[in-house]
Amino acid sequence: MAVGASRSELLEWINTTYQLKYTKIEQCGNGAVYCQIFDSIFGDLPMGKVNFNPTSDYQTLTNYKILQSGFSRHKITREVPVERLMKCRLQDNLEFLQWMSRLWSENKLDDYDPSARRKTPVPPSTGGTSSGSRRVFSSSSANGSRIGSRRTSLTGSAQKVRDPLHPKPPLSYSGSRVSSGHGPGIPSGVQEELKNLRAQAEELKLVQESLETERNFYFNKLRDIEILTQNLNEKLQSSEPVDVSIEQLISHIQEILYSTTEGFQIPSEDQIDGIGKENDIKMVDEETF
């Protein structure tokens, strides 16, 4: 797929490759085809749970949650602008689809069967992959440009696509092997410490996911305000008539600022005060000897 492919080229690509009947780029906004493209690269998304004909925002959000889980699992830091893509606007979906097409063209699986994958609720857990062989991520193209935009990076050793069915083997240690269960060679004190460390790691993981959600939530707000002001500025620069009053502009900005999304609520003033008091108590406790 060429860099900066046109709308017609992209539509032909997704319809031919994934056996779909899309007629416009805006239809990609439901997130289903993005999941299918990602699955044709890594082969480990639960495509049976992806809804290609969602009838509600909840079903569409479920598609994007599946996609984002794949991004997190494979350490892809490219942002998925869910709110903008869900609005089914041409420009947002065109840019994201172009990026995914470049990712696919350099890392696609061989012998991928989109129809069979859509009927497979969960990828197999043992044996080889049913979707073909893996490819190694290409770190650069002929002109040395990297995949994706300035925010895009693929981390990992040599940026290889790791087979989810053949994970990296655990580190081996010289001497006696430490078992993962309650083996006789592990003292009870060590087992208890391991249990506590695992619990702390799980808690930190939840905190990280929460912070990432909050970051993306506020970033998308800023991006929407930026688009609004850019469009208004372009009209002013070109001497076009502006049919928006200052009151309407302020109202629109406030609407963006105070809007919420499912699964994320802005804390009330009482909640913020409660958090502040709780932190003050913790600080006093820590300073008490």
CB atoms within 10 A of CB 40: 23
Lowest model confidence (mean pLDDT) among 167-176, 180-189, 216-225: 167-176
pLDDT score recorded for residue 273: 58
Answer whether residue 39 shows pLDDT above 80: yes
CB 138 within 8 A of CB 147: yes
Q: How many CA atoms lie within 13 A of 88 on its CB side?
A: 8
pLDDT confidence of residue 34: 97
Q: Give Cβ neighbours of residue 3 (< 8 Å, ≥ 6 apart).
A: 98, 102
CA distance 213 to 242: 35
Beta bridge pairs of residue 106: none
* Mean of pLDDT values over 117-124: 64
pLDDT at residue 172 in the model: 42
Higher pLDDT, 215 or 140: 215
SS3 234: helix
CA–CA distance, 7 with 154 (Å, rounded to integer): 26
Query: Cβ(107)–Cβ(161) under 8 Å?
Result: yes
Q: What is the pLDDT of residue 247?
A: 87
Q: Considering only CA atoms, which of 193, 168, 36 is closest in space to residue 100?
A: 36
| Residue 25, burial from CB neighbour count under 10 angstroms (0-12, 13-18, 19+) | buried
Across residues 228-245, what is the average pLDDT?
A: 81
- How long is the chain? 289
Better-predicted residue by pLDDT, 57 or 5:
57
The phi-psi region of residue 111 (left if phi > 0; otherwise alpha if psi is between -120 and 50; otherwise beta) is: left
pLDDT tens digit sequence for 82-113: 999 999 999 999 999 999 999 999 888 888 99
Give the tokens for residue 246.
């200052």
- pLDDT band for position 233 (50/70/90)? confident
Is pLDDT above 90 for 9? yes
Average pLDDT across the chain, whole number:
75
* Domains (range + CATH), the chain: 7-159 (1.10.418.10), 209-287 (no CATH)
State mean pLDDT over 204-227. Answer: 85
Location of structure tokens 């992209």: 10
**Three-state DSSP state, 160:** strand
For the CA atoms of 161, 167, 168, 172, the dihedral, rounded to the nearest 10 degrees, stands at 180
Q: To the nearest whole percent, how much of the chain has pLDDT over 90?
A: 36
**pLDDT tens column, 190-211:** 888 888 898 889 889 888 887 8
pTM: 0.46
Is residue 77 a contact partner of residue 153, using CB atoms and an 8 Å limit?
yes
pLDDT in tens, 131-153: 333 444 443 333 333 333 333 33
Q: How far apart are CA 271 and CA 287, in angstroms?
A: 25
Q: How confident is the model at residue 280 (pLDDT cuts 50, 70, 90)?
A: low
Residue 268 is predicted with a pLDDT of 55
In whole angstroms, what separates CA 191 from the centre of its chain?
A: 35
pLDDT at position 203 is: 83
**pLDDT value of position 70:** 94
What letter would DSSP give residue 46? -
Helix (H, G, I), strand (E, B) or coil at 236: helix
Q: Minimum mean pLDDT among 8-17, 141-150, 164-173, 276-285: which range?
A: 141-150
Joined together, the tokens standing for residue 209 give 């996911």
